[in-house]
Amino acid sequence: MVSGTHRKVIDVLEGKTVSPPPIWLMRQAGRYLPEYRETRAKAGSFLDLCYTPEFAVEVTLQPIRRYGFDAAILFSDILVIPDAIGRNVRFEEGSGPQLDPMAVDEIEAVTRTELGTKLDPVYETVRRLRAELPTETTLLGFCGAPWTIATYLIAGHGTPDQAPARLFAYRHPAAFSKLLDHIADLSAEYLIRQIDSGADAVQIFDSWAGVLGEVEFDRYAVRPVRRIIDKVRAARSDAKIIAFAKGAGYLLKSYRQDTRADAIGLDWSVPLSFARELQKDGAVQGNLDPMRVVAGGLALEEGIDAILQALGSGPLIFNLGHGITPQADPENVTRLVKRVRGGVA
Ligand SMILES: Cc1c2[nH]c(c1CCC(=O)O)Cc1[nH]c(c(CCC(=O)O)c1C)Cc1[nH]c(c(CCC(=O)O)c1C)Cc1[nH]c(c(C)c1CCC(=O)O)C2
């Protein structure tokens, strides 16, 4: 292989051990960066930022310029799918996302929706990014997992424990499964189009997997993600896929095999001894507590070293256990990258 086209994240997704491990951070483009806040102010609403290729490309590239991460993640949001199917998604300052909540009698109509052309600007962003990024930088596309998307569709906003979606699923199991299958089909189409536009790999975010019981985890987290992965692979057999089921704990033991993901993302509550077991079956990604990046100092150094020591001799993509938060000091990210790459923090 020509060294200039070598993408370390892809090597790890193929099961290789890369030392030092490649690194990127979930939500690496975001409010902790002054240059993001500047572009965000110019773009208008948050969705305008997502749907304007010029701005979305700019904010995707900002953390790459600053830190030289091994992967760039398309700047967008998991809620663009609900937006594309007409659920009136709004991001209001300080209150998190808002959508039209979905009642059970809307299931038939919602499961007949199509993506249409609304997400075309996202594919254009992906094309421009692949052309502008350094060849050695992996470009990641993404979508939300059907369960996590459904939690927002049903409640109409974020909730601490997703009680509205859990209740809906117990009351209307057949309608709920139909809804998840439909979201999975739209998500597969969305990911295939991202891959065709230049994404080298994709990540599926199941941020709310941790609130599901064992039976529901299989039904609502594993199966719909497997459905997406099967459809993407049926269309693009060499697609590389990372699945992140936050809070899944012990259920991660079979998650990779049951979903067929190339890598599984780990949140910071996953013990490193268990993470090592999971790594025997393939690549893992994670799992530094984002609060260690806010704290800095010894908390940051010890957290990094523990992960490198436990997981550095196997296929690892270094990342946080969830998105970086707005309070993080950009200098701590500089220290983090340096330490992972073998320098002193
Ligand atoms: C659940 C979820 C969402 N969005 C996402 C998830 C899954 C991952 C996770 O659990 O964090 C995924 C997401 N959201 C965003 C990205 C961009 C790529 C990246 O840098 O990782 C990605 C991959 C940008 C964003 N998406 C959002 C922001 C902040 C909005 C702003 O700039 O004002 C960013 C940078 C808005 C958003 N979008 C969402 C919420 C709950 C919020 C509000 C929370 C907040 O205000 O921090 C839904």
Q: According to the model, what pLDDT value does residue 177 have?
A: 98
Q: According to the model, what pLDDT value does residue 344 have?
A: 57
Residue 109 lies in a domain: yes
ipTM of this model? 0.93
Q: Which atom of ligand 1 is nearest to the CA of 74?
A: 18
CA distance 112 to 79: 18
CA distance 184 to 194: 15
Q: What is the mean pLDDT of each run of 10 residues along the chain (345 residues)?
A: 71 97 98 98 95 98 98 98 98 91 96 97 98 98 98 97 98 98 98 98 98 98 98 98 98 98 98 98 98 98 98 98 98 98 73
Residue 167 lies in a domain: yes
CATH of the domain at 147: 3.20.20.210
Residue 259 lies in a domain: yes
Q: How far is CA 41 from CA 32, 34, 214, 322, in A?
A: 14, 11, 43, 25
Return phi, psi of residue 228, to 5°: -60, -50
Pocket test for ligand 1, best of 45, 59, 78 (most atoms within 8 A of CB): 78
Q: According to the model, what pLDDT value does residue 92 have?
A: 87
Residue 201 lies in a domain: yes
Characterize the bridge pairing of strands 96-98 and 90-92.
antiparallel
- Which are the catalytic amino acids? 27, 31, 40, 77, 152
Element holding 283 (H helix, E strand): strand 283-288
Q: Which residue has the tokens 């601490």?
A: 160
Pocket test for ligand 1, best of 27, 149, 242 (most atoms within 8 A of CB): 27
For ligand 1, whether the C-beta of 91 sits within 6 Å is yes
In this structure, what DSSP letter does residue 203 have? Answer: E
Q: According to the model, what pLDDT value does residue 3 have?
A: 45
Q: Which atom of ligand 1 is nearest to the CA of 93?
A: 33
Residue whose CA lies nearest to ligand 1 atom number 13? 77
Q: How many domains does the chain have?
A: 1
Residue 300 lies in a domain: no
For ligand 1, whether the C-beta of 97 sits within 6 Å is yes
The reported pTM is 0.96
For ligand 1, whether the C-beta of 157 sits within 6 Å is no
Amino acid symbol at 214:
E
Q: According to the model, what pLDDT value does residue 87 have?
A: 97
Residue 301 lies in a domain: no
| Residue 248 structural domain | 28-265
CA distance 210 to 161: 9
Residue 231 lies in a domain: yes
Residue whose CA lies nearest to ligand 1 atom number 19? 27
Ligand 1 center from residue 46 Cα (angstroms) = 10
Non-local CB neighbours of 48 within 8 Å, separated by 6+ positions: 55
Q: According to the model, what pLDDT value does residue 94 have?
A: 80
Neighbours of 344 (CB within 10 A): 7
Residue 104 lies in a domain: yes
